[in-house]
Amino acid sequence: MGRDVSQGAFTRDDRVRYRQKVRRCLDVFALMLDDFGFDADRPMTGLEIELNLVDSAAEPAMRNEEILADIADPLFQTELGQFNLELNAEPRLIEGTGFADYEHDLRGSLSRADERAARSDAQIVLVGILPTLTEGHLVEDNLSTNERYRVLNDQIVGARGEDIELDIRGVEQLQTHTDSIAPEAACTSLQFHLQVAPDSFADYWNASQAIAGVQVAIGANSPFLYGRQLWAETRIALFQQATDTRPDELKAQGVRPRVWFGERWITSIFDLFEENVRYFPPLLPICEDEDPVEVLHAGGVPHLGELRLHNGTVYRWNRPVYDVMNGRPHLRVENRVLPAGPTVVDMLANAAFYFGLARGLAEADRPIWSQLTFSSAEENFHAAARRGLDAALHWPGLGDVPVTRLVLDQLLPTAAAGLDGFGVAPAQRDRLLGIIEQRCRTGRNGAVWQTDAVWAAERHHGMDRTAALHHMVQRYAELQRTNEPVHTWPVP
């Protein structure tokens, strides 16, 4: 939900009017899918990176407003917590040297932002969950000052009607509760956007769902929360629980959560938007002036504002996106499963693996989703979040197989072929997929490095957990700036 919101109190009439408007938008969207010219000639890609701000002691720095003003770059925006920022890369093609262009621009933007942050005694850390966060940091008073976050918090907490329970059981266990959505601010992610044509959207979304578990296992970077070692990618469980609008009774009835893997393979993007309207009550019933029917009949391009806003409050791990750029509508898959970090080159390796593998599987003669049950894809996703590189995933023709073997033997060649289909330069392809290969061969991704570094600080240097986490984050921040991939990082 990237738009500004100022209205905080909604009436019954607001909700009735909004529901009617969303359904009107959905009807227009169905008509557009039948015979409208969507922009899909040269598929663009995009990246969003959520960032953490820390001070010299590796504590979260609640200074995003002043730092954002100092950065003065429209590519940077606020995020939920005052210790968060978001960087939106300029969309681009990945053919040729597109990944090298991403790397150059991202490193330049982050370097300039870090220089500005230093003026406020802060620095940027790219990590899925900042390990030094405590319950005292993740409170409503530390939400960003933009009113949209307060409104969203009030609506989610109000819909639930009681405190939000956090119960995550991994290597260690966390059980606590919160009276706001502030813990969601701990979840800093890396999001990929892939523009697709309407008639191929279902194939790309299904492929993205099928590989979500593999992505999480290979890219896990969130092992610590509130001082406890939990899942390899604790961010998955935390995000699901911190934004859950359902009390226990609705969970028992099978009401769907707003953070949702889904429940079936699809045949059209329409399936997902229709599910949004059918299953999820509006959180932010804000209507715009546009009548999408009139705009469509006049030959214009409807913006479908209510449908898009509603879609932005249903947090699918692979989200459908309808957008309008330069007067032309287009569709995107927004892949939201991965954490930020550890380095720019690590994130671009994750991007190359996702874009290539999604295309390779989407264009395969025999679709993976015709061989893999949807429930198996979801089970893979959660097994990968728990165990990371140690996970065993179910895969057609192999049964339960170590994820590292699956990637090395089958998926890397598929990803390489997919990148070839995009026209990616062979040197770029080999460099980035080589990083994924080495993570599998060394058994080290961000989550593994973090846990190894904390273990070493505790066992070899006699630190308690709090000191070990702060020491690790300071070392992590130093190594991050080298842009050397995490599988090469030393553990002291």
- Residue-wise pLDDT tens for the chain (492 aa)? 444 455 557 888 899 999 999 999 999 999 999 988 898 888 899 999 999 999 999 999 999 999 999 999 999 999 999 999 999 999 999 999 999 999 999 999 999 999 999 999 999 999 999 999 999 999 999 999 988 888 889 888 888 888 999 999 999 999 999 999 999 999 999 999 999 999 999 999 999 999 999 999 999 999 999 999 999 999 999 999 999 989 889 999 999 999 999 999 999 999 999 999 999 999 899 999 999 999 999 999 999 999 999 999 999 999 999 999 989 999 999 999 999 999 999 999 999 999 999 999 999 999 999 999 999 999 999 999 999 999 999 999 999 999 999 999 999 999 999 999 999 999 999 999 999 999 999 999 999 999 999 999 999 999 999 999 999 999 999 999 999 999 999 987
Residue 1's pLDDT is what?
42
- What is this structure's pTM? 0.96
Cβ-contact 469, 224 below 8 angstroms: yes
Give the three-class secondary structure for 452.
helix
Which of 409, 403, 450, 421 has its CA nearest to residue 129?
A: 450
Cβ-contact 401, 393 below 8 angstroms: yes
Extract the tokens encoding 92. Answer: 């681009």
Residue pointed to by tokens 């730092």: 67
Residue pointed to by tokens 């002291």: 492
Extract the tokens encoding 371. Answer: 């061989």
Extract the tokens encoding 246. Answer: 């359902």
Residue 491's pLDDT is what?
87
Report the interhelical angle of 344-362 vs 426-442 (nearest 10°). Answer: 100
**Regarding the domain delimited by 36-261+317-487, which CATH topology (the fold level of the hierarchy) does it fall under?**
Creatine Kinase; Chain A, domain 2 (3.30.590)
Angstrom distance (rounded) from CA 324 to CA 344? 29
β-strands 228-229, 224-225: how paired? Answer: antiparallel
- Name the phi and psi angles at 253, rounded to 5: -85, -5
Residue 2's pLDDT is what?
46
Cβ-contact 33, 269 below 8 angstroms: yes
Cβ-contact 437, 251 below 8 angstroms: no
